[in-house]
Amino acid sequence: MFRLSCEAKQYAWGKVGQASIVAKFSGGSIREEPFAELWMGTHPSGPSEVVVRSNEKVKLPEFLRAHPDFQASSPELPFLFKVLSIGMALSIQSHPDLTRARALHSTDPKHYPDPNHKPELCCALSELECLCGLRSVAEVATFVAQVDELRDVLLAGGMPRPDIDALREGGDPMLVVRAIEATLRCRPATIKDALERLMAPARLAALAAREPSMDAALRLAGRLQGQFPFDCGVLVGAFLLRYHRLAPGEALFLGPNVPHAYLAGDCVEIMATSDNVVRAGLTPKFKDVAVLCEMLAEHVAASPVDPAARSFHCDPSCPAPHLSVYAPPVPEFQLVRLRVPADCPQGGVSWCGHPTSAAIAIATQPCWVSLGRPLPPAFERIERENNAAGCDLLQLGAGSVVLLPANRAIWVDGPNGDLWIGTAAAAPALAHK
């Protein structure tokens, strides 16, 4: 095993200072600045470094190229593993499928730097709020019927009045996509006027009293307006996208074309090695409304029933009490969690790695990790621990990251030990104590 040094990204939406687990996990001095993402992998925008000696580090792709025993197939990992600490809403976004990713990269490499798709899975470490998928036609029909300001924006954004009337009555889920497109295309001055009217305290109170089921959406609109004043994404996020609240350990799988935006909380995230994002709201960055709306139409077309009925939850399989395996339907990755039980057997709990691909593990609670054999008794560990490079016994603090070789078993122990592992998909049957 080798310890990894990983890059912390300081995007504006990250939690600030001590509130951010990314700041705590990054290992540096914690400043009162936003710390958003910890990147673990080989992606060129933030490759991890392998600590080969106490004062020497090597880029992970270079290390894998020189050590085929860690990964036989390629010097690049098929996945990118992250920790996110979210203090405010991320952009409303979607990720292209492989065909579209290649086309976007070919025609606009500045904004789409990767020719790869980006399916991803997020699993909550704390309570996690996010938007994912479309609201039901019935919910949107209520909002369109009750919120004059939303109807005004749809009309001004180019949605035909017969389509707006049809949406008020329910109708085709594709009408929700058209409503999103009209809102995203509406002139900023019209959006500003609509939100000024909608956010007036008397107006909010009147709407909540008339339709109590709207209260949560109105409160969300107020939150988003506070973070991104007069952005078209305030209306899209509050009234047209589906709200989710995940408890720790719950996960969502976000396949191609699925609209989403994280709102608040902490999570681990694993994805195909890509940084392709199509954005269209709640961001000052480049927006590609036309492409995003094409992707939303494909998303709806893939769900013959109301797309809001589609579940994005990825429930783990649990082949052993200490083990959770989140295995979405993609070949690039899966997420494994090892939790040390109170009655942990001598030697620790174990997991066997992928036969050909290296894995990356991060401890969210302190633990011991042993490579290739059960852990020795506790009184022997400090004496035997080897903190030099390439050791087979390590004590990990919260936030410690290690590189695990292919086709080797590990054992984990420690009071309340909690280890998350990013690995390639289709690992073999797991052997465990």
Q: How confident is the model at residue 428 (pLDDT cuts 50, 70, 90)?
A: very low
279 is catalytic: yes
* Contact by Cβ (8 Å): 355, 326: no
pLDDT of residue 386: 58
Q: Percentage of the chain surpassing pLDDT 70?
A: 94
pLDDT digits (tens, 9 = 90+) for 365-421: 999 999 988 887 765 666 566 555 568 899 999 999 999 999 899 999 988 899 999
Mean pLDDT value across the chain: 91
402 vs 308, higher pLDDT: 402
Query: CB-side exposure of 161: number of CA atoms within 13 Å?
Result: 0
For 109-116, what is the mean pLDDT?
92
* Alpha-carbon span 146 to 166, nearest angstrom: 14
CATH code 2.60.120.10 region(s) in the chain: 2-132+246-284, 332-423
For 263-274, what is the mean pLDDT?
97
pLDDT of residue 389: 56
User: Cα–Cα distances in Å, from 398 out to 41, 48, 115, 168?
Assistant: 18, 18, 34, 51
pLDDT digits (tens, 9 = 90+) for 184-209: 999 999 999 999 999 999 999 999 99
Question: Does CATH place domain 2-132+246-284 in 2.30.110.10?
Answer: no
- Please identify, in words, the CATH class of the domain defined by 332-423: mainly beta
pLDDT digits (tens, 9 = 90+) for 133-176: 999 999 999 999 999 999 999 999 999 999 999 999 887 899 99
Q: How confident is the model at residue 73 (pLDDT cuts 50, 70, 90)?
A: confident
pLDDT of residue 245: 95
Lowest mean pLDDT among 68-72, 193-197, 355-359: 68-72
For 305-310, what is the mean pLDDT?
66
Residue with tokens 């709200």: 243
One of 3, 100, 279, 408 is an active-site residue; which one?
A: 279
* Contact by Cβ (8 Å): 252, 136: no
pLDDT digits (tens, 9 = 90+) for 5-35: 999 999 999 999 999 999 999 887 788 999 9
For 115-137, what is the mean pLDDT?
95
324 by DSSP, 3-state: which?
A: strand
* Alpha-carbon span 2 to 388, nearest angstrom: 9
Q: Is 52 exposed, middle or buried (0-12, 13-18, 19+ CB in 10 A)?
A: middle
Q: Tell me the two tokens of residue 352.
A: 């066997």
115 by DSSP, 3-state: which?
A: coil
User: Cα–Cα distances in Å, from 186 out to 198, 235, 261?
Assistant: 16, 11, 20
pLDDT of residue 46: 94
pLDDT of residue 427: 47
b/e map 271-284, b = 16+ CB within 10 Å: bbbbbbbbbbbbbe
pLDDT digits (tens, 9 = 90+) for 94-107: 999 999 999 999 99
Q: What are phi and psi of 395, to 5 degrees?
A: -100, 120
357 vs 381, higher pLDDT: 357
* Alpha-carbon span 381 to 333, nearest angstrom: 32
Report whether pLDDT(39) > 80. Answer: yes
Contacts of 275 (CB under 8 A, 6+ apart): 43, 45, 80, 113, 114, 118
Lowest mean pLDDT among 77-81, 171-175, 334-338: 171-175
Q: Distance from CA of residue 341 to its chain's centroid? A: 27
* Contact by Cβ (8 Å): 39, 80: yes
For 419-427, what is the mean pLDDT?
87
357 vs 390, higher pLDDT: 357
pLDDT of residue 432: 34
